[in-house]
Amino acid sequence: MLIEVLADAAAVATRAAEFIADEARNAVTARGRFLMAVSGGHTPWQMLRRLAELALPWDRVHVFQVDERVAPDGDPDRNLTHIRECLRGAPLPAGQLHPMPVENPDLQVAADGYARELQEIAGTPPTLDLIHLGLGPDGHTASLVPGDPVLEVADRDVALTNPYQNRRRMTLTYPVLDRARRVLWVVTDTEKQSMVKRLLDGDRSIPAGRVRPDNALIICDKAARGMQ
């Protein structure tokens, strides 16, 4: 696992956007398209705004969600609400943003449907070019949270969680995370210091530590790394 430490959250967002853009151009050259999945968070929203300003072959880009809260369409708790806003300036074809269908009253049907959508676009089993992940102060990533049975799901790429911070979640699971060609961790703020260290140490007692490390890059700020 590689790490880059930058001055602050703004620098992290800019560097992460540039890294994604490079990966996108390389993937389109190599395979004709770029398939990525994105998580939520304040610094990632900055990252996506900067990405939307960059010159990419947007007609060859597909954007999936790493996870989503079960909430109505347009709810400010929804990652999708912010993804749409942040990418508004990018010429991404409407059908190439793939929302998790958490409005479906039958959430298991919805999760199974999203798994099929991944297969239709990314193959069987689905392989994404890049998955962007965050890191919670409790060591969670995606919606893979400590103590949730979803951590043990090994036979599905999309699963449902128990309530976490008052919302159930739909999330990608370890199998599809570990098939990604690249994993990009974007981490900022002092509250993440201990978890960044544990992630780098390969501590599998935290959910983030169970994600395959050999194809991963952490881009973090000095605060998250515990540096002045």
pLDDT (tens digit, 9 = 90+) per residue, 182-204? 999 999 999 999 999 999 999 99
Instruction: Kindly tell me if the per-residue pLDDT of 120 is higher than 80.
Output: yes
Q: Are 10 and 38 in contact (CB under 8 A)?
A: no
Single-letter code of the amino acid located at 139: G
Determine, yes or no, domain membership for 27.
yes
**How many domains are there within the chain?**
1
Q: What is the largest CA-CA distance in the chain?
A: 49
pTM of the model: 0.96
Determine, yes or no, domain membership for 38.
yes
Residue 69 CA from chain centroid, whole number: 14
Instruction: Kindly tell me if the per-residue pLDDT of 67 is higher than 80.
Output: yes
Structure confidence at residue 147 (pLDDT): 95
* Average pLDDT over every residue of 168-176: 97
Structure confidence at residue 227 (pLDDT): 84
* Average pLDDT over every residue of 132-150: 96
* Average pLDDT over every residue of 77-98: 96
Structure confidence at residue 169 (pLDDT): 96
Single-letter code of the amino acid located at 182: R
Structure confidence at residue 151 (pLDDT): 97
Instruction: Kindly tell me if the per-residue pLDDT of 46 is higher than 90.
Output: yes
Q: Are 62 and 35 in contact (CB under 8 A)?
A: yes
Determine, yes or no, domain membership for 176.
no
Look up the CATH number of the domain holding residue 56: 3.40.50.1360
Determine, yes or no, domain membership for 171.
no
Determine, yes or no, domain membership for 172.
no
Decide the pairing of beta strands 158-160 and 169-172.
antiparallel
Domain containing residue 48: 6-166+189-207+219-225
Determine, yes or no, domain membership for 178.
no
* Average pLDDT over every residue of 154-167: 94
CA distance 157 to 173: 5
pLDDT 10s digits, 13-27: 999 999 999 999 999
pLDDT-based confidence at residue 228 (cuts at 50, 70, 90): low
Determine, yes or no, domain membership for 126.
yes
Determine, yes or no, domain membership for 82.
yes
Tokens linked to 180: 């990604």
